[in-house]
Amino acid sequence: MANRIIISGGGTGGHTFPAIAIADAIKEKEPETEILFVGAKGKMEMEKVPKAGYPIKGLWISGFHRKLTLRNLMFPLKLLTSMLKAWSIIRDFRPDAAVGVGGFASGPVLDVASRMGIPALIQEQNSYAGATNRILSGKVNRICVAYDHMERYFPADKLVLTGNPVRKDMLREQPSREEGAAHFGFNPNQPILFIFGGSLGAKSINEAMAANSAILADKPEIQVLWQMGSLYVEDFGDCATAQLENVRAEAFIDRMDMAYAMADLVICRAGALTISELAQLGQPAMLIPSPNVAEDHQTKNAMALVEKNAGVLLPDPEAKERIITRAMSLLAQPETLEQLGKNIRTMARPDAAARIAAEVLQLIEKKGGR
């Protein structure tokens, strides 16, 4: 009988896309495996997972806000409801293993699975462990991580250094610089910046771009692809920077492979998925960590690169003043960009999804499988 596996978590692309990559890797190893996702209602996984070809069930769950808010009053009820729903899903699906990738839904599902004696594995994408995974670490059988020194947060005997899974299109043969430039209408013989704040955009990065129109206007040879995010098109789509001839402003980039391929320098947040993609492609980057994440974990992600001379850190409060001048300084140092690219590539782990899939299947085998 085919194995059954639950994969739970999501909330952001940094959780959702690795989860899908793990599922794909499991199916490649054992095509008959039945996989069920469990996510949080209203979050992106409820759309992205079915598009990837997998069924998903949603829990009524959200995070506990660190600031005093009325929404926290609902948290105990949501948690209890989600625990009961998770129990019902696991009872009906009868999984052989449970995988948690972080995010709101991961907690209840992995907690219930562990209590029911089901082999469980969690994957931590960041260099600073998330609260949900820290809580679960004592209950699960295996913890897959992407950075060294994670014994600071987890039991050392459960750790496996696997790296972070990246999307399939990042593992295929990549377009050339010329192909990428042609796709976006740029000249491959002139400098190109690719600036984005994640799939939804980043307000402070957009504000920084809007504040630097004069500098970019004076440097028409510097070409910029700027993904502002669909949430911010109304606020920034008509700003002076977006109207410059050397700037192409887009709400969303669906050909990230083309954008990466043409860029001399990427300017972006320091999310785990983004860093894994940069490493896979050997892409030099200036990282602007988001200040709106738990325990400032993006700064810690960025510092893990800075310590290996594999990335440049620009603090978010300095972005408005320095985002373009710092980028111009780096563009004027091709040797530095080349070294950054070489160093970050050493951190790539293209087999991460396959290694995590192997760990999951090994847990099932140890338990006895079906």
Q: Which residue has the tokens 């950075």?
A: 147
CB environment 255-283: b (16+ within 10 A), e (fewer): ebbbbbbbbbbbbbbbbbbbbbbbbbbbb
Cβ–Cβ < 8 Å for 184, 258? yes
Q: Which residue has the tokens 């070489």?
A: 342
Is 163 known as a binding-site position?
A: no
Read off the DSSP letter of residue 10. -
Is 243 known as a binding-site position?
A: no
Is 126 known as a binding-site position?
A: yes
Is 125 known as a binding-site position?
A: no
Cβ–Cβ < 8 Å for 225, 192? yes
Cβ–Cβ < 8 Å for 146, 332? no
Is 333 known as a binding-site position?
A: no
CA dist 126 and 175 (Å) reads: 28
Is 197 known as a binding-site position?
A: no
Is 290 known as a binding-site position?
A: no
CA of residue 53 relative to chain centroid, distance: 20
Strand order in the sheet with 4-8: 56-59, 34-40, 4-8, 97-100, 120-124, 142-145, 159-161
Give the contacts of 134 (CB within 8 A, at least 6 positions apart): 153, 154
CA dist 122 and 360 (Å) reads: 10
Cβ–Cβ < 8 Å for 98, 8? yes
Is 298 known as a binding-site position?
A: yes
Q: For residue 254, which of 332, 161, 184, 158 has the smallest C-alpha distance?
A: 184
Give the contacts of 109 (CB within 8 A, at least 6 positions apart): 6, 8, 38, 59, 86, 89, 90, 98, 100
- Tell me if residue 328 falls in helix, strand or coil: helix
Binding residues: 12-14, 126, 167, 199, 253, 298
Binding residues for UDP-N-acetyl-alpha-D-glucosamine: 12-14, 126, 167, 199, 253, 298
